[in-house]
Amino acid sequence: MAEDLSALWPRSSNQCAEFDWGLLVNCTGEKDAFDSQFFCANIDPTERYVLSLPGTAQYRLTSGNSMFENLFLAGDWTFTDINIGCIEAAVISGKMASQAICGEPDHIYASFGYVLPIVTDPALAAGAPAASTSPKSGV
């Protein structure tokens, strides 16, 4: 195992090409730092999923405002009207990313049958122009 770990973390090897166990943090005071480590093998898909905790929707990133000129976000983890992990939220997010890139679609028909206006910035709701929802030129 010591040789295999250095393949994953090349700078973790000592001069003999073995894993340097002294790099491990030992918070419990165990004699062996390996015994104080926490290991978890996430084998079920639900164990790897981002939770939708109450009051956290405000911290989600919007599809058209990644803070990078040519990076648009899509997924059920982004800011949409549905604060849960589901295919509907992912589709709405993908359409919001499309709107941020090229200006289409004009409206997104949400999963509950109402028209969802595309609002990604509180300033837009107040009537001010928002750069995060305008079509990008030269894309």
Taking all residues of the chain, what is their mean pLDDT, rounded to a whole number? 74
Q: Does 98 or 9 have the greater pLDDT score? A: 98
pLDDT at site 75: 92
pLDDT at site 125: 52
Percent of the chain with pLDDT over 90: 7
Task: Report yes or no on whether pTM surpasses 0.85.
Answer: no
Q: Does 40 or 96 have the greater pLDDT score? A: 96
Instruction: Choose among 86, 81, 91: nearest CA to 50.
Output: 86
CA dihedral for 51, 55, 58, 63, sign (positive or negative): positive
Q: Which amino acid is at 63?
A: S
pLDDT at site 1: 58
Rounded CA-CA distance 134/84 in Å is 26
Q: Across the strands, what pairs with 109?
A: 115
- Mean pLDDT in residue range 35-49: 77
Cα distances from 23 to residues 1, 29, 58, 94, in angstroms, run 16, 15, 38, 42
Q: Which of these ranges, 1-5, 67-71, 125-129, has the smallest mean pLDDT?
A: 125-129
Rounded CA-CA distance 120/118 in Å is 6
Q: Across the strands, what pairs with 13?
A: 19
Task: Tell me phi and psi for residue 13, to 5 degrees.
Answer: -90, 145
pLDDT at site 115: 54
Using the predicted structure, report yes or no on whether residue 71 has a pLDDT greater than 90.
Answer: yes
Domain range annotation of the chain: 2-36, 45-133
* 80 and 45 Cβ atoms separated by less than 8 Å: no
* Element at 116 (helix H, strand E): strand 115-116
Q: Could you read off the pLDDT of 99-139 as tens digits, one per residue? A: 889 888 877 876 445 555 555 555 445 554 434 443 344 44
